[in-house]
Amino acid sequence: MAFYVVQFLTGLASAASLFLVASGLSIIFGVTRIVNFAHGAFYMIGAYIAFTLTERLSGAFGFWGSIVLAALAVALIGVLVEMVLLRRIYHAPELFQLLATFGLTLMVEDLVVLIWGPDDLVGRRAPGFKGAVDFFGQNIPSYDLFLIVLGPVVLGVLWLLFQRTRWGVLVRAATQDRDMVAALGVNQKWLFTSVFAVGVFLAALGGALQIPRDAVHHAMDLRIIVEVFVVVVIGGLGSIVGAFVAAVLVSELNAFGILIFPKISIILVFLVMAVVLIVRPWGLFGKPEAAARKTPGLTVNPWRPLTSNERLASLAALVVAAMLPLFAGNYALTVGSEIAIFVIFAVSLHFLMSVGGLASFGHAAYFGLGAYGVAFLAKMAGLPMIVCLLLGPLLGCMGAAVFGFFAVQLSGVYFAMLTLAFAQIVWSIAFQWVSVTGGDNGILGVWPSSWAASPSHFYWLALGVAALVTIALRAMVFSPFGYALRSTRDSLLRSEAIGINAKRIQWTAFVIAGTTAGIGGALFAYLKGSVFPDNLGISLSVDALVMVLLGGVETVSGAVIGAIVYKALNIWLVSQTDLSKLVLGGFIVLIVVVFPKGIVGMLEMLAQRRRKSSPPGSPLLAKPIESAE
């Protein structure tokens, strides 16, 4: 019995930091409507700065002073980020906001390694809380007891701040109606900045308080942000009480999940989240949101099929690409195959995101599932390559059918967070279920049959499949199904009012996109000869998002160009610098801020300008069109 109580208390102690970070994310989202992906990065910087300060400043005052000082310093960094970056993207579609803050996260990861080095740092114990308390023969660290008390105290302080101060009243008012607050004479800019500073302070405090418990390392940002997403989705974005309750719930599920499913403890948490989302899609303490901006892009230009000249040009480009083996060496051909595979992957996400208006942050799950599908069939069943290639993607299809069913119940940021969480489930299974997936060691020795083994043959195969997939998806855009899908994207209510079963259409699109990604993954397994959990990780999902964005979210087939340019740049970059994340992150932020239409979008706009001399003159980041009167 005592053991379970101790386990429970450990869970409560873990909840404290989680609550601090999650409440900060929630407060920021409430007012600015930005889901701050970089929140985990602020948590991590908080821990690193606190580590450095506690090493320098001695004594009890030095320790606790360092914790608070670190949080304040990070809050200041947050203010800078808000003023320089976020102020430019408050009116951008939410996808852009998520991506920009993710880009920031990538940059921070490299910067942290640059400043503090790649090794884990073990911090000082907290003065006065170094020992443990005996509880019926079980030990509880006294620092854990301190954290258990701290959580409710912070909740109380936040409650007072929001209920009893003018600032709190203004923040609550702005959470509901920003424009009205401005129309009453309140300067929103500073209100937003101050809210962001408070949110970041909480995240950094959460990080700083972790140093006596855990080593500080440069991957702690992603780990916490996924948990925090889970917490705010369960608790309800924007609710502080919700963040507290959900933080406790998630921490306890983690603490006891390890006893029930030691191998795949993370599943328990995600199962609970899935149930909550189906019963109360806006979370336990959240409020249903009015239907928000739906289109992922900035403006919607009417789409048209290619003219016959454009078709000829595309065909010519394909022919030129097919002639690559005539003059390129093996390395170039392997790179070419990889790019072709990523075209398939990017085009599949583009279909879901630009055509369906559903921005998935976990699309790599289906790519990876396709890869694992092939690996299982080839290694365990020993099937020939052609059969594996045809059947392997079905694993991606099944995954998309299951997860897609739940995901399309939601929209906007909730959809993004849920798809991310689902991808993390799949990743954890691949990582933790060692006996089946090989865990971190992956599955090796998945080699193509002799007919596709030479680099030029494999390249032709990949190129051919990529061309087929692109043409098929493009044809679908202009089919009745495509029209129905686009109508659910542009106006869910109106499409339902004319008899379209929106959820079913979106689910179908999700399955199509997932299966297509699976085809890419299947080829990828053969290209690399192996499959690893990274094939379904977050960073691959984000790669896909960046490819779509770079090509142009508002275009019909921009993702093809986006994938080619991005992948080529990426391969080159990794060979040139150790700081690829820093460069990539900066690149993402740059696209979002100055180049949000993407390559193909820009070209289309230029062509349009040339056609009619009077440009429409709509500013790039125009406010969403308000209804007249």
Partner 1 sequence: MKLTVEGLNSHYGPAHILFDIGFEVGQGEVVALLGRNGAGKSTTFRSIVGLVAQRTGRIMFEGKDVSAKPTHEIVREGLGYVPEERRIFTDLTVEENLEVGKQPKRPNAPYWTREKLFALFPNLGEMKNRPGGRMSGGEQQMLTIARTLMGNPSLVLLDEPSEGLSPKIVEQMVDAILTMKKEGVSIVVSEQNLHFARLISDRAYIIERGRICFGGTMAELDARPDIRDAHLSL
Binding site for partner 1 (CB under 8 A): 166, 169-170, 172-173, 175-177, 179-188, 616, 618, 622-623, 625-629
| Cβ atoms of residues 242 and 236 within 8 Å | yes
Instruction: Output the CA–CA distances (angstroms, integers) from residue 425 to 136, 410, 554, in the order listed.
Output: 36, 18, 30
285 or 459: CB nearest partner 1: 285
Distance of CA 323 to the CA centre of its chain: 37
Q: How far is the CB of 628 from partner 1 (least distance, A)?
A: 5
Is 561 exposed, middle or buried, given 0-12, 13-18 or 19+ CB atoms closer than 10 A? buried
Residue 476 corresponds to which tokens in the numbers above? 């679908």
Torsion of CA 480, 485, 486, 488, to 10 degrees: 130
| Cβ atoms of residues 218 and 109 within 8 Å | yes
Q: How far is the CB of 605 from partner 1 (least distance, A)?
A: 15
CA dist 622 and 615 (Å) reads 15
134 or 629: CB nearest partner 1: 629
Q: How far is the CB of 277 from partner 1 (least distance, A)?
A: 23
CA dist 24 and 209 (Å) reads 15
183 or 498: CB nearest partner 1: 183
Q: How far is the CB of 174 from partner 1 (least distance, A)?
A: 9
Q: How far is the CB of 297 from partner 1 (least distance, A)?
A: 14
Is 512 exposed, middle or buried, given 0-12, 13-18 or 19+ CB atoms closer than 10 A? buried
CA dist 3 and 136 (Å) reads 9
184 or 278: CB nearest partner 1: 184
Strand partners, 134: 139
169 or 259: CB nearest partner 1: 169
Residue 89 corresponds to which tokens in the numbers above? 């993207």
Q: How far is the CB of 104 from partner 1 (least distance, A)?
A: 26
Q: What is the DSSP letter of 84?
A: I
Match 């699109």 to its residue by tokens: 509
In sequence order, which residues have a C-beta less than 8 Å from that of residue 565 and are 6 or more positions away?
A: 550, 551, 599
Q: How far is the CB of 169 from partner 1 (least distance, A)?
A: 5
CA dist 196 and 105 (Å) reads 16
SS3 92: coil
Residue 186 corresponds to which tokens in the numbers above? 């309140």
Q: How far is the CB of 186 from partner 1 (least distance, A)?
A: 6
170 or 544: CB nearest partner 1: 170
177 or 578: CB nearest partner 1: 177
SS3 278: helix
Residue from 161, 224, 227 nearest 195 by CA: 161
CA dist 191 and 168 (Å) reads 10
Q: How far is the CB of 70 from partner 1 (least distance, A)?
A: 34
CA dist 528 and 16 (Å) reads 43
Residue 108 corresponds to which tokens in the numbers above? 């921070």
What sections of 499-579 are H helices per DSSP? 502-528, 538-551, 558-576
182 or 267: CB nearest partner 1: 182
80 or 169: CB nearest partner 1: 169
Q: How far is the CB of 235 from partner 1 (least distance, A)?
A: 17
Q: How far is the CB of 238 from partner 1 (least distance, A)?
A: 11
304 or 623: CB nearest partner 1: 623
Q: How far is the CB of 173 from partner 1 (least distance, A)?
A: 5
Match 């004594």 to its residue by tokens: 59
184 or 275: CB nearest partner 1: 184
130 or 287: CB nearest partner 1: 287
- Which residue type sits at 213? R
What is the full DSSP assignment across 448-478? --HHHHSHHHHHHHHHHHHHHHHHHHHHHHT
CA 419, 424, 426 angle in degrees (round to 5)? 100
Q: How far is the CB of 591 from partner 1 (least distance, A)?
A: 24
Residue 577 corresponds to which tokens in the numbers above? 């610098």
CA dist 490 and 393 (Å) reads 30
187 or 539: CB nearest partner 1: 187
